[in-house]
Amino acid sequence: MIKMILSGVNGAMGHVLQDVIGAAPDCQIVAGFDLKDNGDTSFPVYTTYDQCQEDADVIIDFSHFSAFDGIFGFAKKRKIPIVIATTGLTEENQKTIEAGAKDFPVFKTANMSLGINVIAQALRQIAGTLEEGFDIEIIEKHHNKKVDAPSGTAILLADAVNDGLNAKKRYTYGRHGRDCKRTEDELGIHAIRGGTIAGEHTVLFAGNDELIEIKHTALSKKVFANGAVTAARFLVAQKPGLYSMDDVIK
């Protein structure tokens, strides 16, 4: 039985994770972290990290990026493998992750969907073929409560495109206020927010008289919860290091 701690347990993704883990015969939630304890869980929920004394095999973090230092510090101190699913982290946070991964297993990806990560691999392979004569744009859509823009997944896909190109593109975030035509070295990234969209990402290759679209649509948050649990199962068997969904796919 894999014992799990959930960070951000009372958030939208936390509730989805509770359902997914509750249905998994090999996983068990032993504790949770959140700013507030709503009192209706079968496991203890702590508002501060030093309160938690439960033993765990892995932590899944779907909290707000402002909570990163606390949860990562807790994981590092206890040497508990951690799956980081929080978006909006800074470059300084990334350096902290890379340093900590030398001491214990850390899993970090911009999107927990297996499908998104397969698309990223495909983009690395095809981008070079479409480098000449095609303009590349990324459009991402999310619900109206998402606070960071563009999404981490949009950047993940943009980076995958650049990995496959000989001449790297520079990222252009929207075009409001720009009174000039598009340049060949641009990769446009555009964010849309509205309703309850779980997540939609389109990579558009626009050439002369032809369009190629590679699109992924998440129909619910469950796809991300399933991916996080898959990552957790993978991570508990690993040595110290920094891992991503690419390692799971391989």
What CATH number is attached to the domain comprising 42?
A: 3.40.50.720
- Our answer to whether residue 146 is catalytic in this structure is yes
- Catalytic, 3? Answer no
Do both 38 and 85 map to the same domain? yes
pLDDT in tens, 96-128: 999 999 999 999 988 899 999 999 999 999 999
Q: What is the DSSP string of 83-143?
A: EE------HHHHHHHHHHTTTSEEEE-S---HHHHHHHHHHHHHTTTT-TT-EEEEEEEE-
Dihedral of the alpha carbons of 246, 90, 80, 121, in degrees to the nearest 10: 0
**What region does 53 belong to: left with phi over 0, alpha with psi -120 to 50, or beta?**
alpha
Considering the domain architecture, whether residues 38 and 79 belong to the same structural domain is answered as yes
Q: Is residue 38 helix, strand or coil?
A: coil
Same domain, 130 and 209: yes
pLDDT in tens, 128-187: 999 999 999 999 999 999 988 999 899 999 999 999 999 999 999 998 887 889 989 999
Residues 138 and 126 in one domain: yes
Specify whether 9 is located in the same domain as 29: yes
pTM metric for this prediction: 0.82
pLDDT in tens, 58-94: 999 999 888 999 999 999 999 999 999 887 788 999 9
Residues 76, 142, 169, 201: which is the catalytic one? 142
**Is residue 128 domain-shared with residue 184, that is, in the same domain?**
yes
- Residue 167: which CATH number? 3.30.360.10
Which tokens go with 40? Answer: 């209706």
The parent domain of residue 163 ranges over: 114-218
User: pLDDT of 14-41, one tens digit each?
Assistant: 999 999 999 999 999 999 999 877 668 8
Domain count, the chain: 2
Domain co-membership, 211 together with 239: no
Q: Are residues 56 and 22 part of one domain?
A: yes
Same domain, 30 and 77: yes
Same structural domain for residues 189 and 236?
Answer: no
Q: Closest by alpha carbon to 199, among 98, 102, 85? A: 85
Do residues 144 and 119 share a domain?
Answer: yes
Are residue 43 and residue 140 in the same domain, yes or no?
no
Select which of 3, 64, 143, 146 is catalytic.
146
Question: Do residues 150 and 172 make contact, with C-beta atoms less than 8 angstroms apart?
Answer: no
Q: Which of 245, 13, 8, 34 shows the shortest CA–CA distance to 142?
A: 13
If we measure between CA atoms, which residue out of 117, 46, 100, 105 comes closest to residue 80? 105
